[in-house]
Structure 1
Amino acid sequence: MSSLTQQDDTEAREPILDTVDRVSELCFGLFMALTFVGTVSATAGEDAGRKMLYTALGCNLAWGLADAVMYLVRTLTNRGRRLTLALAVRNEPDPVAGVRTLRDALPPTMRTLVSDSELESIRARLAAKANLPDRPRFVRDDFFGAAGIFIIIVLSTFPVAIPFVILDNVSAALLVSRILTLAMLFAGGMALGRHAGWGSWKAGISMVTLGVLLTMAIISLGG
């Protein structure tokens, strides 16, 4: 438990999954499902809809697992990079060198906006911090985030594939599936627009346009 407390102290707490994470994973799941559902007109036959659902679901189960694991890898890697920087600054005996290390770690566009006195204040706080962990560790929320990614991708399968199970007419099911997919893309685009401070309706329409273009590309490539 103490290790988790130490890890929490090394960085500001962030949401488990922010809006960009949630919408991105939703879109990934939708398009992965589309790569399979788009072939239904060519494979229509007895029980084709149910087979397509199982195929799309199996694909997104695998993709969701892979993406969840990579989320954990990415999280630990980024945390390790920040911890390495904090330890390097804390253990640097020369204050000027410590400030230089902090400045080098800033994005290029930020380096001219932060003064040496501001960086020195950060360096001094790091130098006085005695409870930094010796290595990056997972915390509980990391696993909640990975589980959230897995669930989002898997659930995104159903609006795309369920119409083929409910409707006997393949053409009608394909139309309903496309409409549901575009509606979800529109909602995701609106969420991104609000998050970024853009016009939510414009962002929603842009996401739908992107979805149409990607769907056309998927179909043209045999998806």
Structure 2
Amino acid sequence: MNPNHIAIENAAETREPVLDIVDRVSEMLFGLFMALTFVGAVSTSVGPDAGHLMLRAALGCNLAWGLVDAVMFLVRTLANRGQRLRLALAVQHAADPAQAVRIIRDTLPPAMRTLVDDTELEAIRARLAGATALPTRPTLDAADWLGSVRIFFIVVLSTFPVALPFVLIDHVPLALLISRVLSMIMLFAGGMALGHYAGFGAIRAGFGMLALGLALTMAVIALGG
């Protein structure tokens, strides 16, 4: 990793994982919802190749959206890193420490501004002001590219539990039932993971995500998605 990049990250904040649990579950559910939009169409399809057609359509859709999601992750990461670099430079060029503290406070979300006093912000200002090797522009590193690859595969792989039953089982109603059961299990598991992470009850969150997922899927299909 570029030493300048390390300097700005260390000066501004302790680096978080490239993809946290919310990112991973959100991408999995996004891919799942995309695949589910094809299930309703398959349930009314006839012909011996309906399952393979659905798999190709669902996989092609998720390949495209997985690529879009991965690229936008890199764009978002670069934009956020540029904002932190701009903040560090603004602090270093401030007329006095008080102005620098005000600059930092203005970058905080409104809900956090009343939770942090000037003494705490002064410690951040001192670290930013002492950063001696700031990069000339925001850059991406290997971890960012790896994160984008992981996003791509999360979206794409979430297609298979929904679509594969139609390829492996010739009886479409049975394949549809298995696909829906697997989809509900994935929704419930994703909700549990988010609930455990957020601390508001894994089981409750699992059922909530299941209900939300079913409602969203029905809405997407009804809107022609």
- Measured against the shorter chain, the TM-score band is over 0.9
Counterpart of 1:35 in structure 2 is 37
- 8 Å contact kept, 1:83–1:136: yes
Does residue 213 of structure 2 align to residue 211 of structure 1? yes
Instruction: Give the equivalent residue in structure 2 for 1:195.
Output: 197
1:52 to 2:57 alignment:
no
Alignment of 1:120-135 (within 5 A): 120-135=122-137
Given that 1:163 and 1:173 are in contact with CA atoms closer than 8 Å, whether structure 2 keeps it comes out as yes
Take 2:110 and 2:6, find their aligned partners in 1: how far apart are those partners?
32
Whole-Å Cα distance in 2 between the matches of residues 129 and 219 of structure 1?
52
Q: CA RMSD in A?
A: 1.5
TM-score by length of 1: 0.94
Q: Deviations over 1:141-189 (max 9, x none)?
A: 1011100100001100000000000111111111111110010000000
Q: Is the 8 A contact 1:33 1:160 kept in 2?
A: yes
Give the corresponding residue for 1:5.
Answer: 6
2 CA distance for matches of 1:125 and 1:9? 9
Aligned to 2:116: 114
Q: In the TM superposition, what is the alpha-carbon distance from 1:222 to its structure 2 partner?
A: 4.1
Question: What stretches of structure 1 move > 6 A for 4+ residues in a row?
Answer: none
| Aligned match of 1:14 | 16
CA gap 1:65/1:37 in 2 versus in 1, 3 angstroms: same
Match of 1:172 among 163, 174, 188: 174
> Is 2:222 the counterpart of 1:220?
yes
Residues 37-46 or 154-163, more deviating: 37-46
Pairwise CA distance, 1:36: 1.7
CA distance in 2, matches of 1:163, 1:183: 15
Q: Is the 8 A contact 2:31 2:159 kept in 1?
A: yes
* Structure 1: gaps (5+ residues): none
Aligned equivalent of 1:138, options 137, 140, 145: 140
Distance 1:162 1:210 in 2: 24
Distance 1:14 1:99, change over 3 A: same
One-letter amino acid of the counterpart of residue 133, structure 1: P
Paired residue type of 2:3: S
Question: What percentage of aligned pairs have identical amino acids?
Answer: 62
Contact 2:5 2:134 in 1 (8 A): no
CA distance in 2, matches of 1:13, 1:123: 17
CA distance in 2, matches of 1:214, 1:132: 45
> What letter corresponds to residue 2 of structure 1 in structure 2?
P
Query: How many angstroms does 1:9 deviate by?
Result: 3.2
Deviation at 1:4, TM superposition (A): 4.4
TM-score of the superposed pair, with normalisation by structure 2: 0.93
CA contact (8 A) 2:194 2:205 kept: yes
SS at match of 2:44: helix
Corresponding residue pairs, total = 223
Task: Return closer, same or farther for 1:56/1:73 CA change in 2, 3 Å cut-off.
Answer: same
Give the direction of change, closer, same or farther, for the CA distance of 1:4–1:97 in structure 2 (3 Å limit): closer
Amino acid of the structure 2 residue aligned with 1:9: N
- The CA distance in 2 between the partners of 1:222 and 1:114, in whole Å, is 47
Q: Does 1:76 align with 2:78?
A: yes
2:69 to 43, 67, 70: 67
